Amino acid sequence: MAVRPTVRAAVLPAVGSPLEITGIELPDPGPGQVRVRLAAAGVCHSDLSLSDGTMRLPVPAVLGHEGAGTVVAVGEGVTRLAPGTDVVLNWAPSCGSCPACARGEVWLCADALTGAARVHARRAADGAELHPGLNVAAFAQETVVPASCALPAPPGVPLTDAALLGCAVLTGYGAVHHSARVRAGESVAVFGVGGVGLAALQSARIAGAERIVAVDVTPQKEGLARAAGATDFVLATENTHREIRALTAGQGVDVAVECVGRAVTIRAAWDSTRRGGRTTVVGIGGKDQQVTFNALEIFHWGRTLSGCVYGNCDPERDLPVLADHVRSGRLDLAALVTERITLDGIPAAFENMRAGKGGRALVVF
Report residue 354's pLDDT band, with 50, 70 and 90 as the boundaries: confident
**pLDDT given at position 53:** 87
**pLDDT given at position 19:** 94
**pLDDT given at position 59:** 94
At 84-119, the pLDDT tens digits run 999 999 999 999 999 999 999 999 999 999 999 999
HEC per residue, 210-222: CEEEEEECCHHHH
| CA atoms of 173 and 167, how far apart (whole Å) | 10
**pLDDT given at position 356:** 80
| CA atoms of 27 and 4, how far apart (whole Å) | 6
DSSP state of 114: G
5 pLDDT above the threshold of 80: no
SS3 359: coil
At 294-305, the pLDDT tens digits run 999 999 999 999
**pLDDT given at position 159:** 95
Q: Are 256 and 193 in contact (CB under 8 A)?
A: no
Report residue 318's pLDDT band, with 50, 70 and 90 as the boundaries: very high
Lowest mean pLDDT among 216-220, 244-248, 304-308, 356-360: 356-360
Lowest mean pLDDT among 50-59, 107-116, 212-221, 311-320: 50-59
CA distances from 220 to 333, 348, 349, 359 (A): 20, 19, 17, 11
**pLDDT given at position 217:** 95
| 161 phi/psi in degrees, rounded to 5 | -70, -35
Q: Going from the N-terminus, what domains does the chain have, and what CATH number goes with each?
A: 7-166+332-364 (3.90.180.10), 172-309 (3.40.50.720)
Residue length of the chain? 365
Lowest mean pLDDT among 42-56, 74-88, 104-118: 42-56
At 130-143, the pLDDT tens digits run 999 999 999 999 99
**Higher per-residue confidence, 51 vs 273:** 273
Q: What secondary structure does DSSP assign to 58-98, as a single string?
A: -SSEE---EEEEEEEEE-TT--S--TT-EEEE-SS---S-S
At 319-347, the pLDDT tens digits run 999 999 999 999 999 999 999 999 999 99
Average pLDDT, the chain: 95
**pLDDT given at position 4:** 58
**pLDDT given at position 221:** 95
Helices (H), ranges, the chain: 45-52, 99-102, 159-162, 168-174, 195-207, 222-228, 240-247, 263-271, 295-301, 315-328, 346-354
55 pLDDT above the threshold of 90: no
**Higher per-residue confidence, 358 vs 213:** 213
Q: Is the pTM of this model over 0.85?
A: yes
Mean pLDDT of 165-180: 97
Report residue 2's pLDDT band, with 50, 70 and 90 as the boundaries: low
Helices (H), ranges, 211-281: 222-228, 240-247, 263-271
| CA atoms of 7 and 3, how far apart (whole Å) | 11
Percent of the chain with pLDDT over 90: 92
